[in-house]
Every structure is written in C-alpha cells, then in structure tokens.
Amino acid sequence: MDTATVIWIIVGIVVVLAIIGVIAVVASRRGREQREKKRRADQQRAEEMRRDAEARALDARENEAKATRAQADAQQAQVDADRLRQEADQRQSQAQELRAHSEKQSRHADEIDPTVDTRHGGRHDDPATGVGTADERQETTKARHTDPPPSQSTENRT
C-alpha cells in the first residue's frame, strides 16, 4: 500500500471519529437538555401539586372551623333550650301555686259569705250574680239569651 492510501485511510478514520464525536456531543447535549426540561416540568408539576395540597388543607381547616362553630351553636341552642325549659317549669309551678292560692281564697270567701250554700258543693245560691256552679252559670246564660228583651213603654219615647 502506498503512503497516500494509508494517509487517506487515517484521515477517513479521523473524520469518522470526529463525526462520531460530534454526534456524541450533540446527543449528550440533547439528553441533558431533555433531562433538564423534564426536571423543570417535574418541578413545576410538584409545585402545582403542593399548591393544590395547601389549598385543600386550607379548605379542610375551614370546614373543621365551620363544624366546630356549628357544634358550638348546637351546644348553645341546647343550653338555651334547657334554660327555657327550666323557666317554663318555674312559671308552670308558679301558675299552679297562684291557681291553688286563688281557689283557696275563693273557698275562704265562700265560707265567709253568708249567702253561699257550701253544704252541697255549690258555690253560690244566687245565679244572677254570675257566681256559682257551672250548671247555674249555664242556666243563667241561657235564660239571658232566650228571654225576649223587655218592651219599652211609650212613656219613655219622646
């Protein structure tokens, strides 16, 4: 082989090696760029996921606060209801005491009043006064509504 051929072969090998080196460098850069691009995309996706997680955590805390408020409102309503129930019981008791006192006072008045016949459980012997047994009051009311009105004499007209 002559020297020129060997030189051409060596030059060819060097050129091929240079081309392979350039391709390797370009491929390496592309790989690095793709990895960097993927890393940035992953980092951006991770940041979005963190923001979503923070927003959801904030929503969860807000819902917990609302639930706690609702529970406190329910407890307050229960306390108010208990207080009102106590007040109603007290007023009912006072009303019963007043009613008993009133009945006792009425019985005492009947005992003192000489016109009241208390022997047969009646309260008053004069139904015209409106005081007496329920039957007496009912009869008096019927009599008042069924009797014709008194006629007016011509003397009163002028």
pLDDT in tens, 81-134: 999 999 999 999 999 999 999 999 998 888 888 887 767 655 544 444 444 554
Dihedrals phi, psi of 58, to nearest 5 degrees: -65, -45
Q: How many CA atoms lie within 13 A of 6 on its CB side?
A: 3
Q: Give the Cβ contact number of residue 106 at 10 Å.
A: 12
Quote the pTM value: 0.42
- Sign (positive or negative) of CA dihedral 19, 25, 30, 35: positive
Yes or no: say if 125 and 118 are a contact pair by the CB < 8 Å rule: no
What is the C-alpha to C-alpha distance for residues 81 and 100, in angstroms, rounded to an integer? 28
